[in-house]
Chain A
């Protein structure tokens, strides 16, 4: 019985860690992979999603719908930001970092001025279950499933839809895509909106498990960055999966055996090692290897 409860505990923690990493990084990695831009304001997109979720929930809207509204709101905000700011910084990693960092400050400080230190948090739905001594939240497992469904959905979107094929072509060679009649600036705007929408949706989902304030996004931003950098931008979906599975595993093991702090440290150490060996991320490294094997 003890072993079973240990294994269940470990798996639960692993699923929970994966969900957190995947949800915080999914929107960011789309934008990075497609446009070579790191959106430092990604955490604020999650904050927007969380705020809309909370306001909608207390306006009497069903929670599920409130979270979806959070995603839509952040998606629209992202498309406006893309048009006004990001558009000028495509392919310029450093300038885009500074510009989006400024945006991040404006949005979080703006939220502080308008809404104050904290807004009402939304109760976690679904209750809990116990295995052995320990109790687990159904909602956390639900979030894990949603995160996996989001990754699968993203894969299908890029694989099977017209928009997805054009987006991948634009990502690889925008000049050629344009010469084939693709409206690449529209593809960029939609992709950016998709990335911030998923960020807002993730923010809404996670808002049901924590307190919500102007700096809510900053809790998730660091691990989102690590996940994206480790995953790399060559293949969005495989990079994201490889990254969350490996980082999640090491973090879970250390968290389980020691404490949360050492869990974070272990994850950072692994990220350092991976980046040292594969400077542009796992997916890029895999792609180069495949090319090399073929050329032999």
Chain B
């Protein structure tokens, strides 16, 4: 098991938002967390990344208890977190942003700039440019590329399709699927975009009111009737 949550409760300022969530992500699996706006999906993934403290319950990652480990330690153990809004450093150049990913997964292995530039050629063209001048889609490529420069064993993606044109969403879906197939990279994905979920995920966990409500296959989610019921879109 790559990642395990056992009865995790967490939130902001002592107010629980995620309540007693238990879930498991197997090695090499792509799991999507879906649900309506404001049900606690982002809180959940921030708790996994170590940016929010666990109030109750426990988290294990690659066999280690990381419940009390902070975000820095979890990143070094191999959690690659790509936040909502992308979290790129706008004053740094594209290349410097990529260098910031080196520590993910321990930071000892040779950083994989070339590989990232092959996946996202547009980043190579703009590597000297300030990252703040990139378009939304390019920033998303940069945020994902930055993690892949390191040695992540799990990718934590929070709404990668938000505010991005469809062609780039497709490209990102391709990269996620390829990495998963060729490198057995595990992915935990928070997403509203059904197309992206169906193109990548092996399993979908529906979250409602801070708790897990159902587990679906991507095929089930592709049914508009089911999607409407769980996501109210």
Total CB contacts across the A-B interface at under 8 A: 66
- A172→B91 contact, CB < 8 A: yes
Residues of A near B51 (CB, < 8 A) are 175, 178-179
Interface residue tally for chain A (C-beta within 8 Å): 22
- A182→B89 contact, CB < 8 A: no
Q: Mark A255-296, 1 if CB is under 8 A from B, else 0.
A: 000000000000000000000000000000001000100100
Shortest Cβ distance from residue B103 to the other chain A in the assembled complex, whole angstroms = 3
Residues of A near B104 (CB, < 8 A) are 180-181
Which residues of chain B (102-151) have a CB below 8 Å from chain A? 103-104, 107, 132-133, 146, 150
Selected from B75, B92, B96, B107, the residue in CB contact (under 8 A) with A179 is B75
- B83→A176 contact, CB < 8 A: yes
- A177, B70: Cα distance in complex, Å: 12
- A179, B97: Cα distance in complex, Å: 13
Which residues of chain B (40-74) have a CB below 8 Å from chain A? 49-51, 70-72
Shortest Cβ distance from residue B74 to the other chain A in the assembled complex, whole angstroms = 8
Which residues of chain A (32-57) have a CB below 8 Å from chain B? none
Q: In this assembly, does A95 line the interface, its C-beta being within 8 Å of a C-beta of chain B?
A: no
Which residues of chain A (2-60) have a CB below 8 Å from chain B? none
Shortest Cβ distance from residue B81 to the other chain A in the assembled complex, whole angstroms = 5
Q: In this assembly, does B171 line the interface, its C-beta being within 8 Å of a C-beta of chain A?
A: no
Report the contact-size class of chain B (Cβ under 8 Å from the partner).
Answer: 20 to 34
- A266, B76: Cα distance in complex, Å: 53
Q: Mark A157-186, 1 if CB is under 8 A from B, else 0.
A: 000001001101100110111111111100
- A179→B49 contact, CB < 8 A: yes
Shortest Cβ distance from residue A236 to the other chain B in the assembled complex, whole angstroms = 11
- A157, B199: Cα distance in complex, Å: 44
Shortest Cβ distance from residue B171 to the other chain A in the assembled complex, whole angstroms = 23
Shortest Cβ distance from residue B37 to the other chain A in the assembled complex, whole angstroms = 22
Q: In this assembly, does B87 line the interface, its C-beta being within 8 Å of a C-beta of chain A?
A: yes
Residues of A near B101 (CB, < 8 A) are 180
- A81, B99: Cα distance in complex, Å: 31
Also in contact, A179 and B71, with CB within 8 A (given A169-B89, A172-B92): yes
Residues of A near B107 (CB, < 8 A) are 181
Q: Which chain A residue lies CB-closest to B78?
A: A181
Q: In this assembly, does B90 line the interface, its C-beta being within 8 Å of a C-beta of chain A?
A: yes
Q: In this assembly, does B100 line the interface, its C-beta being within 8 Å of a C-beta of chain A?
A: yes
Residues of B near A291 (CB, < 8 A) are 132
Also in contact, A165 and B81, with CB within 8 A (given A180-B146, A291-B132): no
Shortest Cβ distance from residue B101 to the other chain A in the assembled complex, whole angstroms = 6
Also in contact, A183 and B92, with CB within 8 A (given A165-B99, A175-B51, A176-B87): no
- B92→A181 contact, CB < 8 A: no
Shortest Cβ distance from residue B142 to the other chain A in the assembled complex, whole angstroms = 12
- A294, B135: Cα distance in complex, Å: 11
Also in contact, A183 and B72, with CB within 8 A (given A166-B100, A169-B100, A176-B83): yes
Which residues of chain A (137-161) have a CB below 8 Å from chain B? none
Report, nearest first, the 6 A-B pairs whose CB atoms are least far apart.
Answer: A181-B103, A181-B75, A176-B87, A179-B71, A181-B76, A178-B71
A-B contact pairs, 5 of them (CB 8 A): A168-B91, A169-B92, A178-B70, A179-B81, A181-B75
